[in-house]
Amino acid sequence: MTRFEFAQLTIQGVGVVAVILTLYVYYRQLRTMNAQRQALEREMAARMRPWVGLFGFGFEAAAHPKHQSTLRLLLRNCGALPAQRAQLSLSLQCVKSEYDDSDNPIHWQEVGVKALVPGEDGNYGIDVSKYSQFSRWREARYDVLIQGSMTYSLEQGSFRTKFEAALRFSEDPDPEGRVKTRWRNVEVI
């Protein structure tokens, strides 16, 4: 083998190694760009979806026995698109130390579905005076735990918001005479 052939083979080997390294770098860049594109698509999907959450909770006691006591919930869509086929369901249960068979939870579900457009308030007034258990709990000054779920969708995607609230009948009312409450959003998926 002559010096010229040796130099030619060395240059070709270096060229092949350079091409392989260049292809490897391009492959890595392509994977990085694909990961960035997917992350951007996920971010856009998260921004362009409905986000429903609990923004207010309260209880209005009946002033007269013939009037209704009302549980008030304020749900709001903070997303960019409407929450379609939205439906609210609640479970109310008594919080006390001893267990009583007659104190089964109260289940309430919205009849039908609705749509919440962005920025729209979903004001719910739920008549709880028709549940004798609730009246017993209130008279006995037991706290009531409310667990709620709002299911909604957008095109093919389904979403759910879960929240918890409590009516604290065991405590004295606030200075305006209203029942003390606590509430929080638990999960938005």
Q: Name which of 47, 56, 83, 45 is nearest 160 in CA terms.
A: 83
Per mean pLDDT, which range of 9-13, 65-69, 87-91, 144-148 is the poorest? Answer: 65-69
Query: What are residue 125's phi and psi, to 5 degrees?
Result: -120, 105
**pLDDT above 90 coverage of the chain, percent:** 54
Q: Name which of 74, 79, 95 is nearest 146 in CA terms.
A: 95
Task: List beta partners, residue 124.
Answer: 73
52-188 maps to CATH 3.40.50:
no
Query: What are residue 129's phi and psi, to 5 degrees?
Result: -70, -20
Confidence band, pLDDT 50/70/90 cuts, at residue 101: low
Total Cβ atoms within 10 A of residue 41: 10
Per mean pLDDT, which range of 69-73, 153-157, 163-167, 177-181 is the poorest? Answer: 153-157
pLDDT, tens digit, for every residue of 63-94?
766 678 899 999 999 888 899 999 999 999 99
| Mean pLDDT over each residue of the chain, to the nearest integer | 88
183 pLDDT above the threshold of 70? yes
